[in-house]
Structure 1
C-alpha cells in the first residue's frame, strides 16, 4: 500500500475505541509522515533488514498516528488497523514490537526511548553498519531524568548516527531556560527548531549535515488543550 498524506485521515478513522489518546497521536502525524515517506531507509517487504534505519516511538502512549502511517507505507493492512485496541489485536494502546510489523520497540512508559536509541546507535557503529537511529519523544517526557543522562552520553560519544525528534506542544511541567534545543546544545548536539506541521522544514532539518554530533529536531505544534 502506498497512500498519500491526504488519505491519512481515512486510515485514522479505521481505528475506533476509547483509548486512542487522540491529541498525543495527532501531534506526531506530520513528523511521522515525513520520516516514513522521505527519510527512513525501511522496506515493508523486509522489515527486519539489519541495515535498515531504526525508528523508536518513545512517545508510545498515543500510537494511532503511528499505526496509520505504518499502514500507509505498507507495514500494516486496513484490516489490522480496524482491530486497534481489540482483544488479540496486534495493535495495542502501546505499540509492541513482537506483535506489530515494522515496530522497532515496545514503548509507552515514558523516559526510555532516547536511552534505547543511543544504545542502538552505539551498537550499529560497533557492527560497522551505516543505519541511522531516529527517536520521537514528547516535550513533557524530557522531565524524566533518564533523558538527560542519554542526552549527555550521546553528545559525549558523538553519536552522529542518532537523531531525536521532540514534539513540543507546550505540555512540559518544568520547561527549560532558553528552550528545549538549548538542553541538547549544551551537551554537544546540533539542533533544529521547526514548525512541526511544515513538511519542507522537517525534511530540511532531517537531511542537513551534522558533522560528528547527534542531532535534535524540535518540532513545534499547537498547544495541548487540557
Structure 2
C-alpha cells in the first residue's frame, strides 16, 4: 500500500516537549555559597550602567564581598534562621530544575517596628529609621533571579509565598530607580513609592516602596514549595 493519502504524506507523530517550570523550595544552609554566587551574578547581569560608571569591576568591588568567607557565613546564617525562626526570617530559592543549583531567591525579615536600625536579610547597604513602636514591619530583600529563570512566572509565585508569610504586616523594600521592570513588578503586588530616595555608593540611585498593612488579615503559614 502506498504511503500517500490524498496527495500528501502521512504525518508522523512528533514528540512535543514542554519546558518544565522553575521550582521553588527552601534552601539548605550548605547552599550558602551558591546563593552568594547568584547574588553577585545577578548584579553583573542586571546593573551595569556605563553612563553612571557602574561596570563589572565596580560591581565586583562593591558586591563581590558577598562571596567572601564572611559573606557566605552571613548567607548561611540567613538560611539557618529561616529554618529555625520561620516567623522572623523568610527565604526561598528558585531552581531551573529539580535538584539543580539555586538560580534565584527571595528573602525577607520581620522585626518589631520601632526597634531601631533595620536592614535587609543579608545586610544590604542601607538602613531605615524606626517608624514607630508597637507593630511589626517586614523588609523584603534581597530578591534576585538569574536570566535563566526570568520571564517564566516564577517572580509572581515567589511574591505570593512572601506575601502569604507577610500576612497583615506592612512591607518595605528598596529598588534601583533605573530598574523599571522591577518597579512595575512590585507595583503589581501592591507596593507604592514613598518618595524616599538614596544614592548608594555615590552612583546607584535607589527608591523606597512600601505596601500598606492589612489590619483585618492574619499571619499566614507559608505554603509548601511549589513548582511553576
Same fold (TM over 0.5): no
User: TM-score if structure 1 supplies the norm length?
Assistant: 0.33
User: TM-score if structure 2 supplies the norm length?
Assistant: 0.33
Greater strand share, structure number = 2
Greater helix share, structure number = 1
The structure number with the bigger radius of gyration is 2
